[in-house]
A and B are shown apart, each in its own frame.
Chain A
Amino acid sequence: MRTGTFLIAAALVGLAIVVLTRIFFTNEYFFFAAYVVLQYIVLSTAWNILGGYTGYINFGTGAFFAIGAYSSAVLHKLPALLKTFDILIPAVPLPVMIVVGGIVSGIVGLGTGYLTLRLRGVFFSIATLALAVVVQTLITNWDFVGGARGAYVLRPRVAPLIGGEYVQYLFLLMLGMCVIVLATARAIERSALGYGFAAIRDDEAAAEASGVPTLRLKLIATTLSGGFMGMAGAPLPYYVTYLDPTSGFSLNYAVNAIAMPLIGGTGSWLGPVVGAVLVGGLQEYLRVTISSAVNVLVAGVLMVAFVIAAPQGIVGLFQRKR
């Protein structure tokens, strides 16, 4: 399937999901749960662009995600701030926030990559852990976005464009992002870029020696991956309506973003989707039936089990049988 065809097909599937959900689910809870699963599809696909394709593990998903969320919080407060200087601007629409969040996170990804990617891969991973704490400290000390206390972000009562509950609008936006991220990931896989990434993953020194511009490719991967994570985080303030550093930087995002691709399979775009739907769905189920502490444990335990017993993930299991 060509990328264009795939994009159309994915968009059609997305549209079908929207139509079906609007017919069958009048219960608002469904949208809250589905939003989380979609968010994890975006996050784990974004993680996989760097982690699965080039083999560089990013532990700082929470940082990129929170940068997206906090850039939305800043944009949300911006009109009120400018008003005190007699500059009137309209409220910033959410899609613009998503784009801005993506750009800011992408730049941070580029910077982190630039600082550390000339070293061995494990140093990049440790640096991303460090990045998460640095960014969290900066935001905890930044009063404009609420500091350690956090900030309330009131969402409009009615969704723009489609009407109805606001969470349905968030769900739609996240679904749109899923389509874009999946189409990008799939396009990368089949392009020269993807082969370059795979060459880096398999043997970086050999790739460099054969003329693959490894540093540039790795920087493209960190930027894309960071940018998509930021996009996934941008609607968060409107979803939770109360944003504080502990929830924005929760380790759960980092763990899930790594666990889901590893469980689903890191080799192709389908793996993170399978992982996110299965693990995300299971977590939402356990959150309701048992407790929220158990639901995060599941991802960790499954991840450890899969890297030991089935390093190719679920998708890999099926491919081997064929």
Chain B
Amino acid sequence: MAAADTQRVNPDSVGKPTVIVDDLYVTYRVMGPKPAGAKNDGASALSRLLTRKNAPGLREIKAIQGVTFVANHGDAIGIVGRNGSGKSTLLRAIAGLLPPEKGTVFTDCQPSLLGVNAALINSLSGEQNIVLGGLAMGMTPTQVRENFDSIVDFAGIGSFVELPMNAYSSGMSARLRFAIAASVSHDVLLIDEALATGDAEFRRKSEERIRALRDQAGTVFLVSHSLGVIRQTCNRAIWLDAGAMKMDGDVNEVLDAYEAIVEK
């Protein structure tokens, strides 16, 4: 599959830091049910607007709390932790997609999240979505045309490409989404549970594709609940617990410790 901006790993640069995360905090603000007794009439809403105070019921979720680490060229880092421990948030913060509350992420390039789902529109055809998704990821129209056939081949959806995506089976649309997302390679690649899509045949193909992307990329971050996949593809692991870093080190060491806790 032809990939845009293919970059081979330069052996000299192995070991050089590519991503430095310095004391990172990320906070979500969400509207929840308002606490009992809180006023929410027009007058108090107006005064909030004027004083820029938060509405009652606005909750803060501290998703990442003080994470610090250095990722080097050639690293493939698995991120493990329970649901809600901040794994996906950490990836998004590294990609620069979630502005941090405090702290900084330093990089030498633009890290990219493998995923294009949010840009696609289900009532449009696969063809239209390939173009839309490709452009959304920053391809030029020429690159989209060059990659078009290989995306369709890889997704293995055949003539369904002419039909709207909401006519696809869930496996087919997952395959198309992955094929679009994986058609570009990046220096720093962030993968969030992308391997868990499709049937066994597509799983094998996509694992191969991820390995190829990893070889082209300088650094890979992989979030997965499948510890087997992480052991196979990563050399290092970070264990997040409630938004804080519990452990960082060799993949087997960290996963053994994690498994010991989880199985208890």
Q: Do A and B come from one complex?
A: no
